[in-house]
Structure 1
Amino acid sequence: MKQNSSRLMPRKSIILAAGAALSMLSLVAHPDVADARAGGGMSMGSRGSRTYSAPAPSQTAPFGATPFQRTMTPRQQAPGYGMQAPYGAGMAMARPRHPFMSGFMGGLIGAGLFGMVFGHGMFSSGMGGGGFLGLLIQLALIFFLVRWAIRRFSNRGGGTGGSVASPFGATGPAAPQQGGSRNVGVAITAADYQAFQQALINIQTAWSQQNVDAMRHMATPEMVSYFNSQLTELASRGARNVVSNLRFERGDLVESWRENGADYATVAMQYSMIDITTDMTGRVIEGDPSNRTTVTELWTFVRSAGLGTWLLSAIQQTPRR
């Protein structure tokens, strides 16, 4: 009897482990249960010709955004594709290289390597750089000289290399500080910022009410189709997501531009909310009704050039650090 019971113990352990694995698998297969707000924690939609270009970093979203997981914009048909920094380029590509600095740095490094190969170093006449200590001194001098030159020439550029952060608050959006940024091609007013913030609230409210018809007046047909698909998938599992007590925390303009008779604006927005998922009886199956969830997303809006209502055309998630 003892032998039989000892043989059953490993089997019980295997069954328990398999059950735990299946539970984890269900979460992986349905990640939108954990991120069930409008957008489902995914990057989806279109940004016109910049769909496959990485948005510039901003104060609210310093690490940019993740690439689109769902989009109707074909890669090969995106006009102007490749003109912006591609995904994965990192923070180093946010500022273009100065042509003079590229040649200057190449000359310094080339001269140093040439001297090292022939054993007399870059400054052999005055320092005797043939030894290891001389090599370290030379490399340190090159480093500080190049860093000084980069700062000098970057300051002359007038600050046109990166995006301009224009924070807007819940009580009154600030006017955009364009400052000659190449990423700001369309003037975004305080009324526009207020419209973006109100759209965030209205879309999340319509999502919680499962009101797809209301979303058609707030988002592009592409985004409405994604929202409808997500709501249908939740309903098929007997679940419903409810977002309440939404509070806008902060945000800034990432970039704005005009193309093909339409204005685009991408804004980074950080907001908090009560985000829960319930079954059809109202029992909470995911989330905490007593704790707020804070997220940062990039929302892109589109309208007819210079007029009309801003419509949501894309939601992008920020990389999780």
Structure 2
Amino acid sequence: MFTSSTRRTRAATIFALAAVLAVAAPVAEARPGSGGGMGSRGSKTFNAPSSTTTAPSAAPIQRSQTQPGPAMGNPGMSSAATQRPRFGGGFMAGLLGAGLLGALLGGGFFGGLGGIASMIGLLLQVGLIVMVVAFAVRWFRRRQGNPAPAGYARSDLSGNSNPGGYGAAPGTGTGAALGAAPRGAPQPSIGKVDIGPGDYQSFEIALNDVQTAYGREDVQALRNLATPEMASYFVEELRANESRGVVNRTSNVKLLQGDLSEAWSEGRMEYATLAMRYAITDVTIDRRTNQTVGTGEPEALELWTFVRERGGRWILSAIQQGR
């Protein structure tokens, strides 16, 4: 039988344990890309990566500058558009009927040239207006139908829409379009890419370099290691941490298991998606007190997609969470 003092003692113990747990650092994933799938995988951005032993499946990409075209996500758009009546069809038919009716009411269909001449004049004026409107509509559609190529950052946080060196061909110093073709443009043909030991070594080095640069909040290094799109997402995350008064420190990255999900080419661009399970020290620290306020899981399972111009250097273009 429990006395009231015993109950009070146990309650105090429970409250003390709760206080300790509240003070202890909660588990909080804060490594780059842990918030959800982001980036671009060319024409395969909205397709699930091929299953591997390391990652049987992957979460879909949620943030991307690649826009679904008619072949991706809107397959019925073209056929529906062709079934719409042409502009002015019913309107012109109505005017023609009205003109004929007016001619008949005015004096019969053959009752003089006055009614017919006025009807023809009206039709000519309306036809001219329709031609002008149709020309203006086509002109505006052409102007709006060519968005920026996917993979380019529309604007980074420093206000520069195309930082030098992003995705540039070796030695050119200018940015290259790293992603799918613009919406409405013909999709490039898909080819095969052979991945060798040197490529796998580059992927493992990139895994370490990106995590280290993120932990140091080294924006310039991240811009050299990733596409403009991915770098802009990283900068957003770092600034969000800064606004909350915390900093994320990632270190001790070690690849535990990895395999190739798929590798392909689109025109002059080459892509490779890797499933990687790796160990990592992921700690969130209060900037003011330098106290640990959160820790991440000691292991992560992700799919990283890399892109390069044929013969160039691999850079990161997408991260998805494995499962």
User: Residues 75 and 247 from structure 1, CA distance in 2 versus in 1: closer, same or farther, beyond 3 angstroms?
Assistant: same
Given that residues 264 and 271 in structure 2 are in contact (C-alpha distance below 8 angstroms), is that contact kept between their aligned partners in structure 1? yes
Given that residues 257 and 276 in structure 2 are in contact (C-alpha distance below 8 angstroms), is that contact kept between their aligned partners in structure 1? yes
The match for 2:306 among 295, 301, 308 is 301
Query: 3-state SS of the aligned residue for 2:232?
Result: helix
Deviation (angstroms), 1:42: 1.5
| TM-score, normalising length: structure 2 | 0.54
Counterpart of 1:42?
36
Tell me, in whole angstroms, the C-alpha distance in 1 between the residues paired with 2:248 and 2:234: 12
| TM-score, normalising length: structure 1 | 0.54
The match for 1:318 among 290, 311, 322 is 322
The match for 1:282 among 287, 290, 294 is 290
Which amino acid in structure 1 is aligned with residue 32 of structure 2? A
Given that residues 52 and 259 in structure 2 are in contact (C-alpha distance below 8 angstroms), is that contact kept between their aligned partners in structure 1? yes
In the TM superposition, what are the counterparts of 1:125-136 in structure 2 within 5 Å? none
Given that residues 49 and 81 in structure 1 are in contact (C-alpha distance below 8 angstroms), is that contact kept between their aligned partners in structure 2? no
Which amino acid in structure 2 is aligned with residue 232 of structure 1? R
In the TM superposition, what are the counterparts of 1:3-152 in structure 2 within 5 Å? 34-62=28-56, 64-76=57-69
Deviation (angstroms), 1:35: 1.4
Counterpart of 2:270?
263
Counterpart of 2:157?
none
Which amino acid in structure 1 is aligned with residue 291 of structure 2? R
Given that residues 251 and 281 in structure 2 are in contact (C-alpha distance below 8 angstroms), is that contact kept between their aligned partners in structure 1? yes
Counterpart of 2:213?
206
Tell me, in whole angstroms, the C-alpha distance in 1 between the residues paired with 2:71 and 2:38: 16
Tell me, in whole angstroms, the C-alpha distance in 2 between the residues paired with 1:277 and 1:60: 27
Given that residues 40 and 318 in structure 2 are in contact (C-alpha distance below 8 angstroms), is that contact kept between their aligned partners in structure 1? yes
User: Residues 81 and 304 from structure 1, CA distance in 2 versus in 1: closer, same or farther, beyond 3 angstroms?
Assistant: farther
Deviation (angstroms), 1:76: 2.1
Given that residues 55 and 255 in structure 1 are in contact (C-alpha distance below 8 angstroms), is that contact kept between their aligned partners in structure 2? yes
CA RMSD of aligned residues (A): 2.4
Query: 3-state SS of the aligned residue for 1:48?
Result: coil
Which amino acid in structure 2 is aligned with residue 287 of structure 1? T
Tell me, in whole angstroms, the C-alpha distance in 1 between the residues paired with 2:31 and 2:321: 12
Deviation (angstroms), 1:293: 0.8
In the TM superposition, what are the counterparts of 1:196-235 in structure 2 within 5 Å? 196-235=203-242
Deviation (angstroms), 1:75: 1.2
Query: 3-state SS of the aligned residue for 1:197?
Result: helix
- What is the CA deviation profile of residues 129-171 of structure 1, one whole-angstrom value per residue up to 9, with x for unaligned ones? xxxxxxxxxxxxxxxxxxxxxxxxxxxxxxxxxxxxxxxxxxx
Deviation (angstroms), 1:246: 1.2
Given that residues 191 and 266 in structure 2 are in contact (C-alpha distance below 8 angstroms), is that contact kept between their aligned partners in structure 1? no
Deviation (angstroms), 1:272: 0.7
Tell me, in whole angstroms, the C-alpha distance in 2 between the residues paired with 1:74 and 1:48: 10
- What is the CA deviation profile of residues 256-303 of structure 1, one whole-angstrom value per residue up to 9, with x for unaligned ones? 000021000000000011111001032000017xxx611110000000
Counterpart of 1:170?
none
Tell me, in whole angstroms, the C-alpha distance in 1 between the residues paired with 2:316 and 2:211: 12
Deviation (angstroms), 1:187: 0.3
Query: 3-state SS of the aligned residue for 1:267?
Result: strand
In the TM superposition, what are the counterparts of 1:120-199 in structure 2 within 5 Å? 185-199=192-206
Tell me, in whole angstroms, the C-alpha distance in 2 between the residues paired with 1:192 and 1:184: 18
Tell me, in whole angstroms, the C-alpha distance in 2 between the residues paired with 1:267 and 1:81: 28
Which amino acid in structure 2 is aligned with residue 229 of structure 1? E
Higher radius of gyration, 1 or 2:
2
- What is the CA deviation profile of residues 75-125 of structure 1, one whole-angstrom value per residue up to 9, with x for unaligned ones? 12677998xxxxxxxxxxxxxxxxxxxxxxxxxxxxxxxxxxxxxxxxxxx
Tell me, in whole angstroms, the C-alpha distance in 1 between the residues paired with 2:71 and 2:292: 43
Given that residues 31 and 211 in structure 2 are in contact (C-alpha distance below 8 angstroms), is that contact kept between their aligned partners in structure 1? yes
Tell me, in whole angstroms, the C-alpha distance in 2 between the residues paired with 1:47 and 1:78: 15
Instruction: Give the unaligned 5+ runs of structure 1.
Output: 1-22, 28-32, 83-182
Query: 3-state SS of the aligned residue for 2:302?
Result: strand
User: Residues 81 and 247 from structure 1, CA distance in 2 versus in 1: closer, same or farther, beyond 3 angstroms?
Assistant: farther
Deviation (angstroms), 1:185: 1.8
User: Residues 272 and 42 from structure 1, CA distance in 2 versus in 1: closer, same or farther, beyond 3 angstroms?
Assistant: same
Tell me, in whole angstroms, the C-alpha distance in 2 between the residues paired with 1:185 and 1:298: 19
Tell me, in whole angstroms, the C-alpha distance in 1 between the residues paired with 2:235 and 2:54: 29
Name segments (4+ residues, structure 1) moved above 4 Å: 77-82
Given that residues 264 and 272 in structure 2 are in contact (C-alpha distance below 8 angstroms), is that contact kept between their aligned partners in structure 1? yes
